[in-house]
Amino acid sequence: MQIRAGYRISFNCLQPMPIHLRLSVHTDRRHDLITPDALVVSVPAPMSQHIDEFGNIVTRVRAPAGPITFSSTFLIADGGAPDPQLWSARQTEVEDLPDEALPFLLGSRYCETDRLSDLAWSLFGATPPGWARVQAIVQYVHDRIQFGYQHARATRTAEQGHQEGIGVCRDFAHLAVTLCRAMNIPARYCTGYLGDIGVPAVDAPMDFSAWFEAYLDGGWHTFDARHNTPRIGRVVVARGRDAADVAMTHTFGVAWMTEFQVITDEVDQQTAALEPRSLAAAE
């Protein structure tokens, strides 16, 4: 299966400023790219890239004052299978965890493990450790939070999401990550592309999606508390402790976002043979 994905994001910068972007396909999926995921900038601006501690590609831009647009459109290969389910996966004891998993046991900006630990153990202490325990957490979060784009709030934490019972995909992920960590299961926040592939299309603008990965039985496994069902065609862009680590854009000055578009579509064989259109050309 081939997926056409991309974005177009515009700002009006009130003065020259640095902008950091985490918009490139994650290093784990670069080998699946059929056409380049190349960042296009609408105005001349010095740029550089580096890989952060989570394997995310970070693009540093020195943006001039005025309007600036960042865009990319690409084709990527995907196996076309739903998220794997491994119900036999066991929970790894903390003393046996690899060093790289340990940071994902700790509290972070949006994941207050200290404030939700008692709740987690009261709800899930009697569940079988391993996949079944993570799935019980996913089911609880899925039932607890009501999804709605109008409920988005950039400062909402996991505890606040639990109390308010509303949110968007990042709130589902934050609460599930927090409850997993409170149960000594490493969990990391993920963001990326997830289109309506294999499911009925949703009548809403496409956006980047958030889910999480839990460390079980020697590996990281995908879970999605918002949808609570295996999905097809995830393309990870960034991973981190929570949304603070994977911000799509970080402006170091006053800048107004004036445009935001995301596309994620499966393409048929005939269409895939063609050069992918840019978002600008598709308007």
Domain ranges of the chain: 2-79+247-282, 94-232
Residues of the chain with pLDDT under 50: 274-278, 280-283
- pLDDT value at residue 268: 78
- pLDDT value at residue 269: 58
Asked whether this chain's domains 2-79+247-282 and 94-232 adopt the same fold, the reply is no
Instruction: Give the integer Cα–Cα distance in Å for 73 and 8.
Output: 9
94-232 topology per CATH: C8orf32 fold (3.10.620)
- pLDDT value at residue 7: 98
- pLDDT value at residue 279: 54
Helices (H), 47-192: 113-124, 131-144, 158-164, 169-182
Instruction: Give the integer Cα–Cα distance in Å for 209 and 221.
Output: 17
CA distances from 150 to 139, 146, 165, 167 (A): 23, 11, 13, 8
Nearest 5°: phi and psi at 251?
-95, 135
- pLDDT value at residue 204: 79
Given a contact cutoff of 8 angstroms between Cβ atoms, the answer to whether 25 and 33 are in contact is: yes
Given a contact cutoff of 8 angstroms between Cβ atoms, the answer to whether 185 and 120 are in contact is: no
So what CATH class is 2-79+247-282? mainly beta
- pLDDT value at residue 205: 80
